[in-house]
């Protein structure tokens, strides 16, 4: 593992010498090569699918794992879209002349070597490889073991294009030891690896965060709330609440708990109940909620659970202060929303809540690189530092100061 | 410790409600209170000095520890300068309207609770407390045990002003258990602490980096190089090399190794030798250097040592490529310089070297918040992410996205 990462680190230097034009040409060749190699990719994917069947993976996991010609085409198109993004390195972020006459430029540069640990979704292999290459980073990939044959085949296609262009295969590679021990080594190799991005289950993310000496950008859970204030337009509020819970319950920006202002609970809750019943949402309410509409009972444990399913907690709170108090206690810092027409209530909420994305009058489902207009998304960071919230390709860059003098000394 | 940090976290909410005007007024009161309490501060400092004497601290440590009226005045002035900085939170860093009509504002916000572990310098207590308060962060401080009485007295003065202004004393506090175990607890409390800044010895920084689950911004060693290219103005080169090594050898941005282009070694080295001899610098050279001038012998271990003293390694290299090769191997990513009049050599160097600050024709000694024009410095980060290089007060902020909708759903 150490030698492998040493090679990855060494390879990163050649990326400095590639122009944006060259990188984009290579990315387009990679996309084309995936198309050409579709039969081979499907053949390798079929092996993973057969193993998955044997190992009784859930249908959701099998669906994530599965490739067909249209999904491979989707991977190729995604790479072409990444090629089309604005060059993320060499951007002058700031610049000034100091009192000593030094000209300082703060310039975006690649992070270096990025380790990505992810679930068994083969398209993540090509997406992240392309995002890293576009931003002049080396990636070392550790995909889910269920997708091993698919990932190896995809990586080989990309590496063959690198080699054809006289670049080291080490610019994009799968880690040689993908066991738990291999991962444990990877996350401690701060000498060679500059950033680890873990994607996947809470257990993995916790393990990586607690044990890594390399910097980590987490993509952790979303315990998202929506608060309906007494000054909300109730139609808006119901439409947003339904959207935030129901449109795609299995994702991190879906709502888990709905907070309702006590002042409007008696009128709002029955209407919400009708709407959520129509959407087949399973409701759990606080005692006050249960006094108005029929629901199961919500406990503190429920308020702390990311259901990732069509289940919703409802709690009655005392105005915006009550909402803030509940959210401060249970937020995961992902996305939180207030529905109100009142400026003071909206601003109190937006300022008091410490989350990556705080909304007034919109669904938390918008927390996503595409919806934000970032073009391609590395993920949604739950870190507080470096990259927070939807993480576009500039999240894969850092900066250096270039200082131009003419003989200055202190 | 957990309860203490819980209180610190809870206290952080009141900072959202303070205007810049109120914060600055309180900072000025803190400065004034330090002045008024000078006799008490000197009395407590005298206890630390007496203990230091008893424990046979080095004269350098004793000097760092010592307070007199003019040093207390310096602390007060530093707080007033921090009060005068531009408000660092609430700054709109970016803003746009998405295709869905959402108005997104990316706004700077405080990081939250910041733990600072530092050496036995009492002024760091008031400086960091003021920097954190100005940026609306809670600070939990762990100073060197040699300065315990001084730090307690300083913290009390600041806390009394907080209380006078009806603010929680927990906004600025010393951790209750300042033992090694206390520190070990602190750095794992990611539930309450958002950032740890360790300052001080390499051992401390390594320990914190390896064991923290909280994010860490390191202020680590500087293994800085200066490369004299064949196209350098030799007078410039000698002046810069002398400045980088001699002006203040004990700091992280001082040069440890001088690289000299083989093409000019025979003419440059004798002149450098005269200059460094005059500055009483102890020289260690590679074999090629030793064939031209008289020096001790430099080993790979020397190239990897931050002397923090008036000692210098000299190595002859083959042009800018040779310099880059040596630096890539030994750099700590702090500050690196090339002295040349040649544009291609300068740009190759600036692009290839991965360090926080890369210089052409200036001394690495300029890597510092004051010289960069940042006004007040939190430190010099050797992190690659979040804050890199000289870290001004905006290094104590992060951001959130505020999103204004009008009923949008997906």
Tokens 């799968």 locate to: A174
Q: Flag whether B410 is in a domain.
A: no
CATH code of residue A108: 3.40.605.10
8 Å CB contact of B407 and A356:
no
**Would you state the pLDDT for residue A350?**
96
Determine the Cα–Cα distance for residues A334 and A384; give it in Å rounded to an integer: 10
8 Å CB contact of A406 and B351:
no
Sheet hosting strand B195-198, strand order edge to edge: B172-174, B138-142, B113-117, B195-198
Q: Flag whether A379 is in a domain.
A: no
Neighbouring C-beta atoms of residue B35, cutoff 10 Å: 15
Q: Flag whether B282 is in a domain.
A: yes
Q: What percent of chain A has pLDDT over 90?
A: 91
8 Å CB contact of A361 and B98:
no
Minimal Cβ distance to A96: which of B239, B365, B373: B373
Q: Flag whether B195 is in a domain.
A: yes
Domain with B255 in it: 224-370
Minimal Cβ distance to B355: which of A357, A385, A400: A400
- Chain A residues inside the 8 Å CB shell of B357: 400-401, 403
Determine the Cα–Cα distance for residues A84 and A94; give it in Å rounded to an integer: 24
8 Å CB contact of B362 and A407:
yes
Each residue's pLDDT, cut to its tens digit, for chain B (410 residues) gives 889 999 999 999 999 889 999 999 999 999 999 999 999 999 999 999 999 999 999 998 999 999 999 999 999 999 999 999 999 999 999 999 999 999 999 999 999 999 999 989 999 999 999 999 999 999 999 999 999 999 999 999 999 999 999 999 999 999 998 888 999 999 999 999 999 999 878 888 989 988 999 999 988 889 999 999 999 999 999 999 999 999 999 899 999 999 999 999 999 999 999 999 999 999 999 999 999 999 999 999 999 999 999 999 999 999 999 999 999 999 999 999 999 999 999 999 999 999 999 999 999 999 999 899 988 788 899 999 999 999 999 999 999 999 999 999 99
Minimal Cβ distance to B358: which of A240, A386, A403: A403
User: What's the pTM?
Assistant: 0.92
Name the residue in chain A with its Cα closest to that of B330: A191
Name the residue in chain B with its Cα closest to that of A248: B410
CA B351 to chain centre: 24
Q: Flag whether B252 is in a domain.
A: yes
Q: How distant, in Å, are the alpha carbons of A158, A187, A219, A281, B124 from that of B111? A: 40, 25, 19, 37, 19
**Would you state the pLDDT for residue B287?**
98
- Chain B residues inside the 8 Å CB shell of A233: 407
| CB contact burial B215-228 (16+ within 10 A = b; e otherwise) | bbbbbbbbbbbbbb
Asked if A29 and A175 sit in the same domain, the reply is yes
Of B172, B113, B215, which is closest to residue A354 (Cα–Cα)? Answer: B113
**Would you state the pLDDT for residue A375?**
81
**Would you state the pLDDT for residue B333?**
94
In this prediction, residue A254 has a pLDDT band, given cuts at 50, 70 and 90, of: very high
- Burial of residue B342 (number of CB atoms within 10 Å: 0-12, 13-18, 19+): middle
Report CA Rg, chain A: 24
**Would you state the pLDDT for residue A326?**
98
Determine the Cα–Cα distance for residues A189 and A1; give it in Å rounded to an integer: 9
Determine the Cα–Cα distance for residues A123 and A66; give it in Å rounded to an integer: 10
In this prediction, residue A178 has a pLDDT band, given cuts at 50, 70 and 90, of: confident
**Would you state the pLDDT for residue B253?**
96
Q: Minimal Cα–Cα distance from B138 to chain A, Å?
A: 14
User: Is A334 within 8 Å of A221 (Cβ atoms)?
Assistant: yes
**Would you state the pLDDT for residue A376?**
80
Asked if A53 and A173 sit in the same domain, the reply is yes
Asked if A9 and A55 sit in the same domain, the reply is yes
Neighbouring C-beta atoms of residue A251, cutoff 10 Å: 14
Determine the Cα–Cα distance for residues B226 and B367; give it in Å rounded to an integer: 13
Q: What is the pLDDT of residues A33-71, one digit of tens each?
A: 999 999 999 999 999 999 999 999 999 899 999 999 999
- Chain B residues inside the 8 Å CB shell of A357: 400-401, 403
8 Å CB contact of B357 and A111:
no
Asked if A230 and A213 sit in the same domain, the reply is no
User: Is B407 within 8 Å of A245 (Cβ atoms)?
Assistant: no
List of residues 6+ apart from B369 with CB closer than 8 A: B375, B376, B377, B378, B380, B390, B391, B392
- Burial of residue A131 (number of CB atoms within 10 Å: 0-12, 13-18, 19+): buried
**DSSP summary character for residue A85:** S
Asked if B228 and B216 sit in the same domain, the reply is no
Question: Is ipTM > 0.90 here?
Answer: yes
Give the A:B interface size as CB pairs under 8 Å: 193
**Would you state the pLDDT for residue B278?**
98
Q: Flag whether A127 is in a domain.
A: yes
Of B388, B385, B334, which is closest to residue B359 (Cα–Cα)? Answer: B334
The token duo for B31 is 């400065």
CA atoms within 13 A on the CB side of A151: 28
Pairing type for strands A397-408 and A103-110 reads: antiparallel
Asked if B69 and B151 sit in the same domain, the reply is yes
Minimal Cβ distance to A240: which of B360, B361, B407: B407
**Would you state the pLDDT for residue A377?**
83
Residues β-bridged to residue A313: A257, A284
Pairing type for strands B255-261 and A113-117 reads: unpaired
User: Is A317 within 8 Å of A323 (Cβ atoms)?
Assistant: yes
Name the residue in chain B with its Cα closest to that of A206: B213
**Would you state the pLDDT for residue A203?**
87
**Would you state the pLDDT for residue B217?**
92
8 Å CB contact of B362 and A405:
yes
Minimal Cβ distance to B358: which of A354, A390, A400: A400
Total domains in the fold of chain B: 2
8 Å CB contact of A363 and B410:
yes
Q: What is the pLDDT of residues A320-349, one digit of tens each?
A: 999 999 999 999 999 999 999 999 999 999
Asked if B261 and B284 sit in the same domain, the reply is yes
Q: Flag whether A188 is in a domain.
A: yes
Positive or negative torsion for Cα B359, B363, B368, B369: negative
CATH code of residue B270: 3.40.309.10
- Chain B residues inside the 8 Å CB shell of A195: 384-385
Q: Flag whether B376 is in a domain.
A: no
**Would you state the pLDDT for residue B257?**
98
**pLDDT higher than 90, residue A185:** yes
**Would you state the pLDDT for residue A84?**
95
8 Å CB contact of A366 and B112:
no
Asked if A204 and A238 sit in the same domain, the reply is no
Helix (H) or strand (E) holding A38: helix A38-54
Asked if B91 and B189 sit in the same domain, the reply is yes
Asked if A37 and A151 sit in the same domain, the reply is yes
8 Å CB contact of A403 and B109:
no
- Chain B residues inside the 8 Å CB shell of A239: 407, 409
Pairing type for strands A311-317 and A296-297 reads: unpaired
Asked if A51 and A196 sit in the same domain, the reply is yes
Asked if B287 and B346 sit in the same domain, the reply is yes
Average pLDDT, chain A: 95
Q: Minimal Cα–Cα distance from B94 to chain A, Å?
A: 12
List of residues 6+ apart from A244 with CB closer than 8 A: A224, A226, A254, A255, A337, A363, A364, A365, B409
Q: Minimal Cα–Cα distance from A278 to chain B, Å?
A: 18
8 Å CB contact of A366 and B109:
no
- Chain B residues inside the 8 Å CB shell of A244: 409
- Chain B residues inside the 8 Å CB shell of A406: 361-362
């Amino acid at each position: 593992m150490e030698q492998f990462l040493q090679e990855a680190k060494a390879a990163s230097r050649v990326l400095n010498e590639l122009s944006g034009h060259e990188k984009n040409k290579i990315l387009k060749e990679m996309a084309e090569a995936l198309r050409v190699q579709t039969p081979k990719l499907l053949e390798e994917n079929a092996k993973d699918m057969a193993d998955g069947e044997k190992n009784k993976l859930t249908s959701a996991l099998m669906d994530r794992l599965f490739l067909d010609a249209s999904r491979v085409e989707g991977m190729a198109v995604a790479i072409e879209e990444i090629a089309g993004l604005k060059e993320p390195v060499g951007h002058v972020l700031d610049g000034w002349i100091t009192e000593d006459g030094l000209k300082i430029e703060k310039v975006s540069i690649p992070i270096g070597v990025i380790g990505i640990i992810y679930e068994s979704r083969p398209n993540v292999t090509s997406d992240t490889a392309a995002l890293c290459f576009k931003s002049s980073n080396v990636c070392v990939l550790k995909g889910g073991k269920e997708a091993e044959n698919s990932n190896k085949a995809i990586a080989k296609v990309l590496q063959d294009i690198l080699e054809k262009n006289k670049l080291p295969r080490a610019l994009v590679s799968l880690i040689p030891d993908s066991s738990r021990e291999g991962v444990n080594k990877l996350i401690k190799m701060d000498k060679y690896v500059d950033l680890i991005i873990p994607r996947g289950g809470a257990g993995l993310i916790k393990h990586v965060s607690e044990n890594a000496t390399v910097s980590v950008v987490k993509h952790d859970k979303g315990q998202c709330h929506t608060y309906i204030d007494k000054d909300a337009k109730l139609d808006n509020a119901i439409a947003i609440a339904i959207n935030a819970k129901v449109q795609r319950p299995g994702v991190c920006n879906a709502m888990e708990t709905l907070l309702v202002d006590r002042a409007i609970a008696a009128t709002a809750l029955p209407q919400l109940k009708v709407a959520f019943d129509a959407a087949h949402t399973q409701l759990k309410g606080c005692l006050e909620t249960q006094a108005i509409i029929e629901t199961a009972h919500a406990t503190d444990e429920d308020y702390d659970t990311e259901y990732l399913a069509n289940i919703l907690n409802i709690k009655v709170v005392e105005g915006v202060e009550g909402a803030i108090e509940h959210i401060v206690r249970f937020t995961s810092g992902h996305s939180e929303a207030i529905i109100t027409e009142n400026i003071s209530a909206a601003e109190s909420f937006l300022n008091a809540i410490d989350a990556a994305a705080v909304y007034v009058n919109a669904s938390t489902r918008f927390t996503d690189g595409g919806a934000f207009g970032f073009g391609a998304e590395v993920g949604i960071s739950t870190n507080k530092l470096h990259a927070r919230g939807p993480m576009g390709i500039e999240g894969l860059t850092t900066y250096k100061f270039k200082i131009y003098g003419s003989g200055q000394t202190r």
